[in-house]
Structure 1
Amino acid sequence: MFIYKTALEQHLGDVTYFKVMSGKISEGQDVINMANSSKERITALYAVAGKKKEKVTELTAGDMGCTVKLKSVKNNHTLNAPGNETIVPPIEFPQSKYRCAIKSLDEKDDEKLGEALNRASAEDPTMRVEYSKELRQIILNGMGEQHINILKWHINNDYKIEVELFAPRIPYRETITKVATAQYRHRKQSGGAGQFGEVHLLVEPIIEGVEAAGKFKIDGKDTQLTIKGKEEFLLDWGGKFEFFNCIVGGAIDAGFMPAIKKGLMQKMEEGPLTGSYARDIRVYVYDGKMHPVDSKEIAFIIAARNAFKEAFKIAGPKIMEPIYLLEVMVPGDCMGDVMSDIQNRRGIIEGMGSEKGFQILKARVPLAELYKYSTTLSSITSGRATFTMNFQDYQQVPMDVQEKLLKAYEEEDKDE
């Protein structure tokens, strides 16, 4: 039997809908879930015709029915009699067309909202819920604006939760374009043991194919740094981070290097410009100071974070935005309007073709410009066009866009 739908129904509880693919299934029969090897018992069987359910004792190949109280069954699972290893190919659901963020108007409802969204996602596989740690938002992915609005209605009326839908944040990245140096001294004295740590560092961009040279102009003098240790990290959010220990003469004890690296990674996770992830940066720690009594790990974490922040801001910082490849299938008479709309969204047309009487348009468009695109496209073409969008890469944003983002981040920072 193949599971194609699950639902929560008022008088029955958790209901699982299935199709019998071969043989027969009987009330009270034990079956094996091929997805997780769990054992399930069919306690009741119902033949289904629309909303009508008729209790039966068995169903045979080709019948569609439902059962209740299965423990660990989801859409696309196959349940078999013991000894049968057949797995039915899963249904391939279409790619989401509409993306938005959601939050409850009352923080007390956050837990209830999470339960409602998880239930909605389980019942409707085309409704995908994403809890984004990076964006600190709950993201809904659905088939269109109306699809999301129907979910909102159910949350408002069935779960009695007031929610707000709005444009999601964009997962920007931050990087630098030139070499810069900075130093920072952290000193704190509060009666007892104090805190002291001073870090001097240099940052430079990682450019593909260009190796670290170690020779720079520092304080107006050509300086060859002595590289005593190097660590390279492939970042979870894309790009690289390289850390060079260039301390000589014991200016900073080697035992404090992990704390300095920790402070740098904290700022890589929360970039100095907009709080987005930073990437593709080399950091050379070449000097500093410590105190025999007051130097502690926390002091060097704070010193490293602040030195990195200061160096970053004078190293030609740039914000990078995600670029998506948009492929639109559109009727020929709407081609001009669709192209104009894409160009207004800072899109770059990459190619055109034709297929099955439709025109195919390919373009690279920033994700920031694609909010509610499905609604706009439907309006332009009277619902006769469709599209797909897939992540391509990150590109630097134009300067006017960067200035707007920086101002918006500053305002948001003040509000918090």
Structure 2
Amino acid sequence: MDSFTLDGLSPIAFGSGAFREAGELIKNAGLGGKALIITGANYLQKTGKIAKLDDQLAAAGIACEIYSKISPNPRASEVNEAAKIINETACDFVIGFGGGSAMDAAKAAAALAVCGGDIWDYIRHWDDFETRPVAGALPVVTIPTRYGSGAEISIFSVISNGETNEKAVLTSPEIMPSLAIIDPEFCLDLPLEQAGYAVTDIMAHLIETYISGSGSSPVADSLTETLACDLIKNASKIIRGEASIGEHENIFYISLLALTGITHVGRGGDFPLHDLEHPLSAYFDVPHGLGLGALFPHLMQYSFEHAADRYEKLYLKVFKRMADEGFQPVNAYKTETGALERAANAVDCFTEFFTALGSYKKLSRYGLSEDKLDKLASDVIRLYGHGQLFIPNAKKLRYSDIIEIYKKAI
């Protein structure tokens, strides 16, 4: 097992109905007397949930301002504007209310309000670009309305630049949320399409490091395998329209665990799928989960022979294990004649699962074409190669490899 460090989690208030206690929870956190709520443009306003949060804060003696212009892939310009409002209205802390985009924007704006300037200067987006250090941030409260991103407890903020069609990651312990309020009841009316994209993101967080890590960590492997099984079982009820609050609670909990780091400690690993997806959603503005689902099977197909033992183990410990227990979520089982065949079967099983979730789609319908591939592949290497000419993976992904994976997704 490799040596590792594991940072502490944000304080978490988790449970059905937790949102109804948001005002008191935030008051008891002692973050200040005025907040800027950062959220998206439509859903929470139309459903009255922003007004409910406003009322709760007022009852707790906390004033608030609202910034509701965050795009599905949050823009640097939006973060800059939100930070300006924070300072102009003398807010003490920030509340990210919504999906991963709202929470990422809130964390970035909280840092920019303290550090000043343009948020893009703090985000590494060129090999020789010297980013400004994040020297501090206002406290952040996150209230996720869906599972998937894990942004409610992470030190990451994924931001897009609409002028250059780039998408990169702000990373700093300074933006770790001070409090996360997680109420799975928000997901009861989550549209099936969005739920499918969110589950795809969770599975990517679980599996990417599993198949790209080089170290040995049996406990982390076992935890990942069990969580993948549980995710598929609970998501299958959503696909069939049979989900209750219990399934949504389970998936939200798995979503949290998938980004705490405990599922890959001791063996390392990278997130090559996310590296390939970020330029895609920056350029075409596709939903993040859809981009992941569209690319994941092709990345797996390209890599499985170079990590056949990992893929074989995934098949045996996830899909075969569930079948042996009497639960068969996919039909892509084949005659098992050897280790490589079992490894290939893992790819087929995941492909069928992503198809059922609605996230495995051809990207030509969203504008992807061969004349765009050079820009995308170049951005992957430039943004995520860390000065090297490849992306870490079970099989190193060089420019030509990335082009081929994108081609298959068209």
TM (norm. structure 2) is 0.22
Structure with higher helix content:
2
TM (norm. structure 1) is 0.22
Structure with higher strand content:
1
Q: Which has the higher contact order (CA 8 A, sep 6+)?
A: 2
